[in-house]
Structure 1
Amino acid sequence: MNWFSNMSIFKKVGLIFVLSVIIFAVNLGISTVAINKNRDTLSFMETKVAHRVELANQNVIYVQRLDELYTQAVSFADEDLLENANKTFVSLNDNLTDLSTTDQQETAVLSQLSNNLNEYNTMTLSLARGMLDGTIDMADVGQISQKKAKIFDKLTNGITVYKADKVDEFSSTIKEAGDRSEQSLYLSFSIGIALLVFMALATISIARAISGSAGDVANSLGELADGKGNLRHQLTVAGTDELGQVSSNFNRFLRLLADSIQRVVSVTSPLLDSASSLKERMAVATKATKQQSHDAKAVHMSMEEMRHSVNDISHSAQQAAEAAQVAEREATEGLAVVQRTVRISQELNSGIELASNSIHELAKDTESVGSILNVITSIADQTNLLALNAAIEAARAGEHGRGFAVVADEVRALASKTADATKEIRGVLEKLKIAAESSVSTMDVAITKSSENERYAKDTGEVLSSIQSKIVSINSMNTHIASATEQQSLVAAHVANNVVEMNASFEQTLGILAEVQGISEGLDGFANELNHATSQFKL
């Protein structure tokens, strides 16, 4: 019965209708044949049998009347009675001739009756004429009368038997018509019961198939709605009809949904790792920047002290040498601090670039998830359109398509729920994308500021290196203390300004890093929400 299972529901219902029409046509044909036969039988009875019975009854009457008229004509010597007897003979003979024409099967019997009638009439008429005319020999009357009586008895018996046969034929014809009508009724009743049984079996089969497939789909959708469904579970596909296509398309949808969720899950795990790593590195960068700010303040204080020392040199040459040594030592320490600041700035720049790259990858992954959601939305729209077409076809099928219309409505509801869920995920992804874009912009600004900070630190290093060389020159050129101290004062003031600017830059960097830290925490929260949403599905 695979061919029946692979037929569409429309064709199944059509096949049932065609078989019903065929059975109805056969039943109608049998009834028509029976009715036609009964009509022919009734027509035969009306035109042939009834006419024969009527003529047979007339013949019985005519033969008795013929004998009575001849007897009365002789008894009363009445020519009119003799003439009436002759007319009766003619009528009886005409009836026998008519019967011979219409009753071909009894031609021999009717011919014998006609001969007996003619013989009887000739003998009786001759006897009556002779007795009326007085020309007959009375000695021959007895012999002639006996012979006439024998012929009359034979004629009467023949006509009576023929009448009985025709009456029996009439009765058997009526009985045959009644039996045929009864057989036609029984046959029609049997075919009607068979048709009802067949329609009941076919209806139960189709209803069971619809109920089974719809039940499987409803159970799977219920499990998915409760968060207990397995996306790898497949419905049993029985046949290629509309229900089989619904099960097959539902399986395809589950496979596509499982693959899409799997891709989202595969993106979620790296996203969580990246968010956690970014959060940790931002904490490290913040700590390093605070340390740099503290060091910058220390450098600023050192430069202030150096400037005051240079001013004191102008008042005392002796103190200038000592101050030069102190300045040289402090310049060396300042250079080390600046070099450490440059190194930390480079590490900060590298960390920010790495965080920026991670956020860029996050933005790309978000766009990839958006593409997957577009595919899911397209599938939901196609499923909704298919369910709508199925509902239209079910409406066309009328009463037989009511169950399938319920299935089509359930499928449309599933497509709507899928579309709503996709919209919710898309909204979360849009928030995530906006946060990622904001993080990218912020990190770009942070990279720029970090590069400026590195450049300022290098400038500071160069300045401190210059200070160190100047202090060495002071030690070797005490004769130029005045001019050297003036130059050192200017340089110290410039370095102090640079340190102030560097400290302000560090403060600004700390603010930016705080914002980036907040963004990374938000990104980590979004990743956790996405992971929680995808964990509701079993893959």
Structure 2
Amino acid sequence: MNMTQRLSLAFSLLAGSLIILGIVTISLLAGFQARFEYVQVNTIDSLKVLNRLVDESNRLSVALYRHQTEDENGKLASLEAVIQKRIEDISTLTKYYVDNDITNDEDRAMTDKSLQLIAAVKQNLPAFLNASRSHQNALSLALLSDDEGIGGAITQLKSSYRNQFDFNSKIGEALRLQNQHIYLQTKWGMAAGIALTIIGLGMLTIFTILRVRRSLKAIGDVMERASTRLDLSLKADDSRRDEVGIMARSYNRLMESISSALHAVSSASQSVSSASAQIAAGNEDLSARTEEQAASLEQTAASMTQLSETVRQTADNTRQASHLAENTRNLSDTSSAALNTMLNTMASIRDSSGKVGDIITLIEGIAFQTNILALNAAVEAARAGEHGRGFAVVAGEVRNLSQRSTTAAREIKGLIQSSNALIESGTSQADNVNHNMETMRGAVSQVTDLVNEIAAAATEQSQGISQVHQAVNQMDDVTQQNAALVEEASAASLSLQEQADTLAALVRKFTLAGPSASGETPQRNPAAVRAPKPVLALATSGQDNWQRF
């Protein structure tokens, strides 16, 4: 059983104990609450009602004695009312007790007896009142004192109520004693359950702690010996099937991994020592080629400077051409707008000429009508003879004027028609010119866009060449730095060889597990490693790899 299972068992035991204690406690509390509510609701209320009934019975006895001893007839009626009120109160309280506070059959039998006694009091009351009203003191006193009269009934009624009071008091006392007994049993039972739970949990905890402590101490001793002797072949006891056993197995695997890693480190140190000598030889070859690369980069930088200047001039010329093309496009836009304005004006003139032609046609019609009227007037003047001669002269003048107006209107109409024909011809030519201007403006826009694109491309080329020039300069600087780094790498390779030898010596201090437990590392044959080829590959692999040296 592992620690998780032990802890789960302990917590399960604790949880089960708490659940059982909780269920028992809740059940007992429910019983306590039920008995308390019974006493609170039934027993106490019963005692209150019975106490009032005894008190009312005593008051009834007092009222009867006062009625028996009263000499004034005027006060008898009020005393009789008090007596009736007392009897009604007793009957009402008894009925309330029957409806709400009956405990058991014995209590019900006692209550039935009280009801019979109340009926006896009511039955004997008229005889007593008649004797008392007639001042038959001996008879009325005998009725109050005799066991068979009203006095005996009241005495028995009070005794019955006292018996019921004692009966309910005993029930309350019995419930109290029952609660006390259950409380004592519960207290000692819960104390015993809690004690047993604590003892069981304590024993389980102590047993678990002792076992875990022994196992951890054993693992600690193994770790201490391994750290003191540097002996990685020591194994911890991993036979346990709990978390401690898992930790021991993990420790053993860790030691095996460290041993394997140290074996690999020992082998790698030999490889590093052999490779560092080869790297030193390759660095000498790399230094010579780095100097050649630096000279080539200087020539490339000079050529890139000339090319950058040429591209910059081309970009400046292209920007000027773009500016001129933009001005030409703006001029064509202005001319097109003016031509559109002229076309609109000619259209307005054409519309006005049409309206003038209509007016001339109207004038011509009026002149024709005037001529007809003048002709009719001349005919009428001729009919009038001598009297119409003056009117005939006026009619003739009017006719001449109308004919001249007609002739002038026809000439004006002809001129307007000629003008309209010229306007139509001018409008057609202007439309052709406008179409040609639109075509030319589109061509100018295309030329402008192409020139702008050329200018942008030239600018980008200039920027790109500048960046290439900067990159070449940086490559030149890096090449110079690489030359210095090659010299440093040669010194570092010698230092690396010394450190590899030191690392191998440190590894031999450990006692390793496995076939090479002696700590000796196998020697590599330097002739089997050809380092110059990787160095040449690095030297010719591209500009991005120079800075790695």
| Normalised-by-shorter TM-score class | 0.3 to 0.5
Larger Rg computed on CA atoms: 2
TM-score, reference length from structure 1: 0.45
TM-score, reference length from structure 2: 0.44
